[in-house]
Amino acid sequence: MLGHLPKKVRIVEVGPRDGLQNEKTIVSLEDKVIFIKMLAAAGMKEIEANSFVRVEKIPQMSDGIELFSSLKKEATLSKTKLISLIPNLIGLENALKAGVTEIAVVTATSNTFNETNINATTDESLKRIDTIVARAHKEGLKTRAYISTVFGCPYEGKTSLAELKRVANHLESLGVYEVSLGDTIGVANPLQVKEIIQFLKADFPLDFFAMHFHDTRGMGVANILASLEMGMTSFDSSAGGLGGCPYAKGASGNVATEDLVFLFSSMGIETGIDMEKLAQASSFILDKLSKGSTSKNLTAYLASKAQTSS
């Protein structure tokens, strides 16, 4: 099995959006720009930077237009792919004004989750996505999609594989370049991960998918290794493990980028990420949030550094 591991992997950093969105402490626009620049300096080539949601819905993301306009002016980010999450057509129009070139859209395999999270049934959400993607493609934007609750739903429990296939097929037919499969509540286990990838393999090219794991129950790295063994090479993660879990108060959410970087680099798999610079970026933002990291590797890295310098 080990012989089949890839030489390199691709990491999509989602901390500035998926991470910060779930943090209560509001980070200033200036600090968000610094954080994103530090992530790029650490080697992150693809960063989910922000979202264009209704201001009253997620205050942390209320500076979408201003933030993105500021990022566009940064020469050091000219080669970084910045992605914006778009919930509706109004959000897309604002994103176009701000100069966004790549967007992400989101739906789920659970009808109840969609109704609760985005106030639409799965079919209604797909219709919404149809109009967003059509307009985005007309404007020359690239689109990525998330499917949430692939491994379990906080309301429905187990979710349907047939529904996963239907939703993924629909998104593929729209021409999104990638679908990220989300373990929204962090309940996936490695065996289930392998079964789902095996199931999808029959109908889709595997490089159509990225894996988006949460570390809520400490299974993030195990699930990534299982995905890797099945041939997956694209992973979403969040610097320092930013972002809690709205379905388990006090628990962690997104798997930490530092944990991925250690996992991959210690097995000789290339990530293109500089651990020292990544640790600096995570420390910077965690300091602004006045909180510690949920990443075991970042904690160990910072502790060993403090020891050698004292």
Please give the residue ranges that form the binding site for Mg ion (CB under 5 A): 18, 254
Neighbours of 157 (CB within 10 A): 10
Cβ atoms 37, 76 nearer than 8 A: yes
CB of 214 vs Mg ion, minimal distance in Å? 6
Q: One-letter amino acid identity for 309?
A: S
Report the residue number, 295 or 302, with the smaller CB distance to Mg ion: 295
CB of 254 vs Mg ion, minimal distance in Å? 4
Choose among 250, 242, 289, 241: nearest CA to 22. 242
CB of 156 vs Mg ion, minimal distance in Å? 18
Report the residue number, 180 or 302, with the smaller CB distance to Mg ion: 180
Report the residue number, 22 or 112, with the smaller CB distance to Mg ion: 22
CA-derived radius of gyration, the chain: 18
User: Alpha helices of the chain — where are they, by DSSP H?
Assistant: 29-41, 64-72, 89-98, 111-118, 122-138, 161-174, 190-201, 220-229, 257-266, 275-288, 296-309
Q: Which of 106, 245, 256, 285 is catalytic?
A: 245
Report the residue number, 18 or 46, with the smaller CB distance to Mg ion: 18
245 is catalytic: yes
How far is C-alpha 201 from the chain's CA centre?
A: 22
CB of 85 vs Mg ion, minimal distance in Å? 11
User: Which tokens is 153 given?
Assistant: 């739903």
**Catalytic residue numbers, as ranges:** 245
